Amino acid sequence: QVQLVESGGDSVQAGGSLRLSCAISGYTSDYYCVGWFRQAPGKEREGVGNVNRYGTVGYGDSVKGRFTISRDNSKNTVYLQMNSLKPEDSAMYYCATKTGLCSVMPREADFPYWGQGTPVTVSL
């Protein structure tokens, strides 16, 4: 059973930084893609970016240049480093995973396994 656990969500001021973690268990190899998504109240879930076993990533336009996804296969953990945070980045952040390689951008319907989410609040 594949499981994901996010952590690191917090309340920060605009311009600040946070690092979210996503610990993955249940895979027998590292041939899987991990995507980050976010959902603000009243809005649809949005793909933030994703990373495959080789570390290749794709990012949404709204976070390019500010967010960085990295992956430590030895720890089965993926990170989302968020810098220059804005109030519009406030959302519940989720990681999700699927076997195989990633698409350029993560699509919600492609990912069968999800974490419970971790909240991020950015205030002025």
pLDDT digits (tens, 9 = 90+) for 69-92: 999 999 999 999 999 999 999 999
18 bridge partner residues: 82
Distance in angstroms (rounded) separating the CA atoms of residues 90 and 27: 31
71 bridge partner residues: 78
Distance in angstroms (rounded) separating the CA atoms of residues 111 and 14: 31
8: tokens are 């690191």
Distance in angstroms (rounded) separating the CA atoms of residues 25 and 40: 27
pLDDT tier at 55, thresholds 50, 70, 90: confident
pLDDT in tens, 86-115: 999 999 999 999 999 999 889 999 999 999
119: tokens are 């909240």
pLDDT tier at 56, thresholds 50, 70, 90: confident
What pLDDT, on a 0 to 100 scale, did the predictor assign at position 70?
94
